Structure 1
Amino acid sequence: MAKRSGSYKKYLEDGTERIPKRTRNRWKLAKRRKEAVPNEENNEDDDSLQNVPWVFIQNTYANFPFQSWELKPQGQDTAVFTINGACINISIIVQGHKCMLQTQGEKCLSHFVGKWMSSTELQRAMQDTGINIFVNEFTENYITTYGKDPLSEHSAYEQMALFSSTCAFSWSRWNAQCGPEHLVMQVCEHLSSGPVPKDHWCLYLLGAQRSQKLRISESSETFSSDHYPGTEFHSTFIHMLQDHMSAEGITQTRATHYLFVDTVQSLLCATRPLIYA
């Protein structure tokens, strides 16, 4: 039960200049409410202010599952990570070891949108504002996932981060149909800062034992694990990618700074788009 504060008449008699304006306004509002709604059971003559606690309830997992996602390079040690959530679409620019949030139409985020900060600081600022796109140990209890192998999933994030300066990665609808032992995503080399042409995307199948380029496309009618004609199987995803990259792309990848790789990987592991989209 909320407690009542003591009478404030004596403060008004002593002089209101000592009382903060905000407090005086609250007292006046409380008095008007009391006069507008008489309380027969309340026989107190003194005006009093009732402190009422306010509770804000937030749906932590409102943005799950994600509708789609994309990790696109913007030059050396620069990339844009975009997530289209159930309630909000956001883009995080990664440059070196710093991150910057970009979004439209969200005035409540104006205090940190467009400001560079570390990955940890950005995650904390977004969560404090109510933008929850980051997973925790309880997320799987509330959101249905594809039940992917966690070792394969996190290995994929590591390898995606290594090539995120030169390769674009994106959501694929076939990831939900390839089974728990495999992952499917769209990938292509992308050395410019513009959007990725739709006909440049290729599908890749990742597993614990091998990775391969798929014959099907995102618009195919049914899923098939048949590999693309003329391509080989590889034990790791990055070796699979190198088979289809230009010399310029490989050189740029090898020059990627480790802090940029670490920052991209931390965002991927914090959002886990391969099982929550």
Structure 2
Amino acid sequence: MNLLETMELPKRLQQSKYQVRYRAPSPPPPGVTRSPEEIEAEIKRVEAEYENLALVFIELPQEVMWSEPPVVCQWYEPRRLWMTTYINDYKFNEDKLTVQFRTGVLWPIGFATLRYSNLPYQGWDVRPDLESDGVIISVTGVCVSVTWLCCGSSVRLQWIANATTPALKDHFQKPYSVKKMIQIMREAACDFFPDFDAHNLVEGSCPKEWVGERHTYHAMAFLARAYNFQWSRWNATAGSRNIVMQIREAIDRKREGKFSLLHATPQHATILNCTELSQEFNLDPLAGLQFYPDLFTLNLSYGSVDARRAPFLMKYRLVETVFSMLTELKLCSFS
């Protein structure tokens, strides 16, 4: 006696190849006018071809600062690269932070953003914090403005203006090392820390001779509790061997003076005879100024008694923190 028994195999997903290549219609040749019927027929044909493509709708994560519409790309495993060949009908909703597009393949999806979307800087400011023993660094980028507070060996994110998402809000007022701060901001697509070749990718940058620029940052770090430094509109066109910025003493806010123009080169530092509001820029120094090899020695003769004493009262941990931030931001080369 034979017994027949039906056995059900476990269900599993079956792989099915899906690949649809869509080519957008080319525009008509110059001078050729199409009739309304031809235009309507082409629109219907495009809509029919769109029906064969997969429609994808994605809400963008709030952990990233979307300053500009992201680029949608897909991972092509055989060549191990990201590509946009199959992405069509792309739509970005800036208010709701959503992305909609059609694709002819179901490959892994990724989003790319412009790394240096905030460069060149629109302005910057370095000044002592009167409420603590720290130094405040404020930078205005193309999309957002960021303020940091350097205290001892740590740096704190104070504020971000014009942010599109609360991406970095959880990191406000928390102490981090400079390297950790850079990592956090880059992961949130808020990169204010250009690499050494970034000037090749940023239009309007003004790369300075690095040895002189780095030395100027070190002097600024020593004097950051005594002076207020600001960007100057003359710096961008001054050339690679000339750094121009605004400077004034900031030890006592009640006796703050007007900004002067500081001119620093690899050979010397001086105060210029012109100002930020001058009609023309010239490199003539103030009358009576002697030769000073750098900003540090300029302060020892030109600064007030309190300003001359300030660098010797600076704690070395704060100096190195401010110096590290300035060298990573590269304010003089991108403003």
Give the structure-1-normalised TM-score: 0.77
Letter in 1 for 2:329: T
Mind listing any 5+ residue stretches in structure 1 that lack a counterpart?
8-37, 40-50
Supply the distance in 1 between the matched residues of 2:237 and 2:161 (Cα, whole angstroms): 33
Q: Which residue of 1 aligns with 2:12?
A: 6
CA contact (8 A) 2:223 2:310 kept: no
Q: Which residue of 1 aligns with 2:236?
A: 176
Mind listing any 5+ residue stretches in structure 2 that lack a counterpart?
1-10, 14-50, 53-105
- Equivalent pairs, count: 232
Work out whether 1:128 is the aligned partner of 2:187: yes
For the residue of structure 1 that corresponds to 2:221, the secondary structure is helix
For the residue of structure 2 that corresponds to 1:56, the secondary structure is strand
Q: Which residue of 2 aligns with 1:191?
A: 251
Supply the distance in 2 between the matched residues of 1:91 and 1:260 (Cα, whole angstroms): 17
Q: Kindly tell me: are residues 135 and 244 of structure 1, through their superposed partners in 2, closer, same or farther at Cα, counting changes over 3 Å? A: same
Q: Kindly tell me: are residues 147 and 52 of structure 1, through their superposed partners in 2, closer, same or farther at Cα, counting changes over 3 Å? A: closer
1:66 CA displacement = 0.5
More helix by share: 1
Percent identity reads 23
Give the structure-2-normalised TM-score: 0.64
For the residue of structure 1 that corresponds to 2:318, the secondary structure is helix
CA contact (8 A) 2:199 2:206 kept: no
1:238-260 CA-partner distances (Å, limit 9, x unpaired):
11123232222222321101110
Where does 1:71-220 land on structure 2 (aligned, <5 Å)? 71-75=126-130, 77-101=133-157, 102-104=159-161, 106=163, 107-144=166-203, 145-192=205-252, 200-220=258-278
CA RMSD of aligned residues (A): 2.5
Letter in 2 for 1:130: A
Q: Kindly tell me: are residues 116 and 192 of structure 1, through their superposed partners in 2, closer, same or farther at Cα, counting changes over 3 Å? A: farther
Letter in 1 for 2:220: M
2:289 to 231, 251, 261: 231
Supply the distance in 1 between the matched residues of 2:264 and 2:197 (Cα, whole angstroms): 26
Q: Which residue of 2 aligns with 1:66?
A: 121
For the residue of structure 2 that corresponds to 1:215, the secondary structure is coil
Supply the distance in 2 between the matched residues of 1:103 and 1:169 (Cα, whole angstroms): 20
1:103-142 CA-partner distances (Å, limit 9, x unpaired):
2454111121221111111111111111111011441220
Q: Which runs of 4+ in 1 moved over 4 A?
A: none
